[in-house]
Amino acid sequence: MPLGNNNSDWWDKMRDRVKIQHIETLSDDWYVLKKTTFAYLRNNGQWQTQSRETYDRGNGATILLYNLDARSVVLIKQFRFPTYVNGLADGLLIETAAGLLDNASPEERIKLEV
């Protein structure tokens, strides 16, 4: 399945299969949490109503760094509050280096993160 805007035919077909019916803002505190109800055209030709919550923090970028000499990837530990309140003792997750774009290009953001 293609990603990005390089395959406009794929995106046009998806737009024909998804019809937004209602959007409700549940929270606009840290970032925006919305509940969206939409109709989705299934492969069997039937329309199905679905509802999803989406948490929009903006666009981001990540990079998986590889150390050629050590033949290993480079990861970081990051505190994540949801993991802490759900029982992970220190709340630390192992992740790739990443950051929100905040009006920067993905390349600029990654350079700032690493």
Per-residue confidence (pLDDT) for residue 92, from 0 to 100: 97
Shared domain for 31 and 64, answered yes or no, is no
Residue type, 42: R
Q: Are residues 51 and 21 in the same domain?
A: yes
Q: pLDDT digit string (tens) for 17-27? A: 999 999 999 99
Give the range of the structural domain holding residue 82, as residue numbers without chain letter: 60-113
d(CA 56, CA 78): 20
CA distance 112 to 114: 6
pLDDT score for 12: 83
Could you tell me the pTM of the whole model? 0.63
Same structural domain for residues 12 and 45? yes
3 lies in some domain:
no
| Domain-located, residue 65 | yes
> Do residues 69 and 47 share a domain?
no
- As for how many domains the chain has, the answer is 2
Mean pLDDT confidence for 59-77: 95
Same domain, 65 and 109: yes
